Amino acid sequence: MRAIGYRRSLPIEQAEALIDVEIEKPSPQGRDLLVEVKAVSVNPVDTKVRKRAAPADGATKILGYDAAGVVVGVGPQVELFKPGDEVFYAGSILRPGTNAEYHLVDERIVGRKPKTPDFAAAAALPLTSITAWEMLFDRFGIARDGGDGKSLLVIGGAGGVGSIALQLARKLTRLVVITTASRPETTTWCRDLGAHHVIDHTKSLPDQLKAIGHRLVDYIFGVNATEQYYDTIAEIIAPQGKFGLIDDPKQLDANKLRPKCASLHWESMFARSSFQTPDMQAQHDLLSEVARLVDAGVIRTTVTDNLGPINAANLKRAHALIEGGRTRGKVVLAGF
């Protein structure tokens, strides 16, 4: 079957940074689904793994985490799906990725694809939705329809995760939703997704927060650039507030949050699948709820770029866009 992978960790500009390959079609075991991949999306984790995780000599590593497709085979222990079901999911960081015609995934982290969007639009949703949902409702512990009198700041609201977090916070809670953006198009994007206030992360955050009447913030979601903003976060977080992050700063001094008794929360949507946690099926339930919300028009997909068929050339374009750091929403590819 056709797939796209890499054999050496190289800058995306180099010819062999991603290559088209032929690999053996896998067979489902246990609770595996064999999915015919119809569309994928690209996330920052794809680029980070490509740059940092070189395959063993002679091996080819297949990237890709988000996918939407059709179940064509099931393992003997599968309970939730059957061949012909349309699904969407974000996969596991420990298994071969979704940039292939057929892909194996544990059914417990798979949801039924929402009916209203096409496969490409659906493929944009899983990783960002799981990450945003788990941060808001699991790590921060915000109640659905809760948050009266409290505020949330999303640093970097126009990216993939931020774009979903803004929608979930605005539609499913009563929080005052604040985010950061620095360009006219990203500011408009964030307002359209539900932000009550958009401030500029290239300027003083404390001054801008004071100007809108929110000198201190109860929940801060750091989507990126945590090292750059961490001192400011410690300054603007409310006493007993919560700070959550998803990027990978080299150094982070938790003591800076101590005077305010503020707490630090990491979110990694791969934790449940990587460690086979007892609540692993929570991601199936979460994606099922996301699909319901999409079909009900409560939240929407965040596709901004469809780069065409799934091949090495187009995936290299997608990686270059992500590494450029100026994308809005999600980049997708569809079809082989």
Q: Is the pLDDT of residue 326 over 90?
A: no
- Mind listing the pLDDT tens digit for each residue in 89-103? 999 999 999 999 999
Are 81 and 87 spatial neighbours (Cβ–Cβ below 8 Å)?
yes
Instruction: Measure Cα distances from 269 to 45, 93, 123, 161, 322 in Å.
Output: 11, 10, 16, 11, 19
Does the domain spanning 2-125+301-334 belong to CATH 3.90.180.10? yes
CATH number of the domain located at residue range(s) 129-266 in this protein: 3.40.50.720
How far is CA 119 from its chain centroid?
Answer: 17
Query: What integer pLDDT is reported at residue 75 of this predicted model?
Result: 98
| Separation of CA 37 from chain center | 18
What pLDDT is recorded for position 88? Answer: 98
Tokens encoding 140 = 């921060």
Cα(258)–Cα(273) distance, integer angstroms: 32
pTM confidence score: 0.96
Specify whether the CB–CB gap between 152 and 177 falls below 8 A: yes
**CATH topology identical between 2-125+301-334 and 129-266:** no
Alpha carbon 145 to its chain centroid, in Å, reads 23
74 has a pLDDT exceeding 90: yes
The pLDDT confidence band at residue 10, using thresholds 50, 70 and 90, is very high
Q: How far apart are CA 95 and CA 68, in angstroms?
A: 17
Chain-wide mean pLDDT for the chain? 97
In the chain, where are the structural domains located?
2-125+301-334, 129-266
